[in-house]
Amino acid sequence: MGIFQDAQIWATLSFLFFLFFMWKFGKDKLLAALDSRIENIRKEIETAESLRIEAQELLAQYQRKQRDAAKEATEIVERAKVHAAEIQKQAEQNIADIAIRREQQLQERLKRMEQNAIQEIRTYAAALAVKATTEIIARQMDRKTNENLIEQSIKHLPKQLG
C-alpha cells in the first residue's frame, strides 16, 4: 500500500476525480457556454459581414453619385459655355444692329441738315430777290405810278377778300 502514501499519486487521483466530476456534471454547462459563445461570435461575424456588404453598397452608391455629379457638372459647364457663346453672339448682333441704326440716324440727320441748309439758302435767296426787286422797283417807280398801283390794289381788295 505504498502507492497510496505518495502525495503525488493522491494529487493525480484527486485531479482525475475532479476532471471526471467536472466532465460528468459541468460538461453540459461548459458546452452550453461554449455553444452560446460560438453562437454570439457567429452572430457578430454575420453582423460584421452584413455591415461590410452594406458599406460596400453605400460606397458603390456614393461612387455612382460622385460620377453622376461629375458628369452633371461637366454638362452644366458645357451648357454654360454654349449659353455664353449664344449671349456673346446675341450681344455682337445687338451691337451690329445699334451701329446700323446709328449710321441710319446720322444719315437722316445729315439729310435734314442738308435740307435745312438748302431751305435757308432758298429763303435767303428769296429775301435777297425781294429786296433787290424792291430796290429796282423803287428806283424805277415815280410818285404817280406808285399812287396808281395803290389805287388798283384798293379796288381789287374787296374781290380778293370776298
Residue 2 pLDDT level (bands cut at 50, 70, 90)? low
**pLDDT digits 0-9 by tens, 118-139:** 999 989 888 888 888 888 777 7
Assign 3-state DSSP to the chain and report helix, strand, coil percentages, each to 5: 95, 0, 5
Residue 99 pLDDT level (bands cut at 50, 70, 90)? very high
Q: Residue 15 domain-assigned?
A: no
pLDDT in the model for residue 131: 87
3-state secondary structure 15-81: HHHHHHHHHHHHHHHHHHHHHHHHHHHHHHHHHHHHHHHHHHHHHHHHHHHHHHHHHHHHHHHHHHH
Cell triple for 52: 461590410
Q: Residue 79 domain-assigned?
A: yes
Domain count, the chain: 1
pLDDT in the model for residue 148: 80
Q: Residue 48 domain-assigned?
A: yes
Which residues have C-beta within 8 Å of that of residue 141, sequence separation ≥ 6?
149
Residues 10, 4 contacting (CB under 8 angstroms): yes
- Identify the residue whose cell numbers are 453605400: 58
Q: Residue 139 domain-assigned?
A: yes
Q: Residue 16 domain-assigned?
A: no
Q: Residue 9 domain-assigned?
A: no
Which residues have C-beta within 8 Å of that of residue 14, sequence separation ≥ 6?
none
Q: Residue 3 domain-assigned?
A: no
pLDDT in the model for residue 130: 85
Burial 10-42 (b: 16+ CB within 10 A, else e): eeeeeeeeeeeeeeeeeeeeeeeeeeeeeeeee
pLDDT in the model for residue 1: 54
55: pLDDT strictly greater than 90: yes
The residue type found at 65 is K
**pLDDT digits 0-9 by tens, 22-48:** 888 888 888 889 999 999 999 999 999
Q: Residue 11 domain-assigned?
A: no
Residue 151 pLDDT level (bands cut at 50, 70, 90)? confident
Whole-angstrom Cα distance, residue 96 to residue 110? 21
Residue 109 pLDDT level (bands cut at 50, 70, 90)? very high
162: pLDDT strictly greater than 70: no
Average pLDDT, the chain: 88
Owning domain of residue 113: 24-161
Which residues have C-beta within 8 Å of that of residue 10, sequence separation ≥ 6?
4
